[in-house]
Amino acid sequence: MKKEIKRMEKELKFKVENLEKLEEKLKQMGVKTAGKKFEKNTLFDFEDHSLKNQDKLLRIRTINGEEKGKITFKGPQVGSLFKEREEEETKIEDAKAMQKILAGLGYAAEFIYEKQRTSYKINEATELKVELDLLPILGSFVEIEGKNEEEMVKLANELGLQMEDAINQSYPQLAEEYFTAQGMERQNLIF
């Protein structure tokens, strides 16, 4: 039997005040944008929140309002400084049809968050990239993704980001923390 290789996502995430400064630094480094997009992310879970309780995630993401999208499964997070978790993702032709399929299997749309994302590819060979994200209520973030931790830390330093400021929570976790601190139930993050 062939051994299955799991795809692992590895990232550093930082809350930042000013995305424009980072865009300027990236431009000075000679990095060109791989594009700007508007993402709608819909998370699914069972009524008993069994995926969330296991630190797992099932998501449908659409880009710029298109019917097509991607469905993603993320496994539990490992590591502390570098957010690392199993990730399986595939394209879907019709996001609404996929939502109906998931509903038929007992999943419900549990949380929706939108973001404006600008992507920068730094090194194709090591899959090093930078994502500049703007989310409603939560604000601005930079994510550095790649395979090589040393290369990721070096890039963070070049961008003026301090490793002690790295956060390992997902956007849904950050939203939950925010609304809990406000004494409110978590709401969708919609522009």
The string of pLDDT tens digits covering residues 106-142 is 999 999 999 999 999 998 877 899 999 999 999 999 9
CATH code of the domain covering residue 98:
2.40.320.10
Closest-CA residue to 10 (of 84, 70, 75): 84
Distance CA 191, CA 43 (A): 17
Assigned domain for 188 exists: no
Closest-CA residue to 7 (of 92, 95, 72): 72
Q: Region 85-105: what's the mean pLDDT?
A: 96
Task: Say yes or no to pLDDT of 80 above 60.
Answer: yes
Distance CA 136, CA 131 (A): 16
Looking at the structure of the chain, the number of domains it has is: 1
User: What percent of the chain stands above pLDDT 70?
Assistant: 97
Note the pLDDT tens digit of each residue in 10-38: 999 999 999 999 999 999 999 989 889 99
pLDDT for the residue 78:
86
pLDDT for the residue 83:
85
Task: Say yes or no to pLDDT of 2 above 60.
Answer: no
Range of the domain at 125: 9-181
90 φ/ψ sector (left φ>0, alpha ψ -120 to 50, else beta): beta
**95: Cβ contacts below 8 Å, ≥ 6 apart:** 60, 62, 67, 68, 69
Assigned domain for 86 exists: yes
Residue 109 CA to its chain's centroid (Å)? 17
| Helix ranges restricted to H, 111-162 | 149-158
Assigned domain for 163 exists: yes
Note the pLDDT tens digit of each residue in 35-66: 899 999 999 999 999 999 999 999 999 999 99
Assigned domain for 120 exists: yes
Confidence (pTM): 0.91
Assigned domain for 3 exists: no
Assigned domain for 189 exists: no
Task: Say yes or no to pLDDT of 3 above 70.
Answer: no
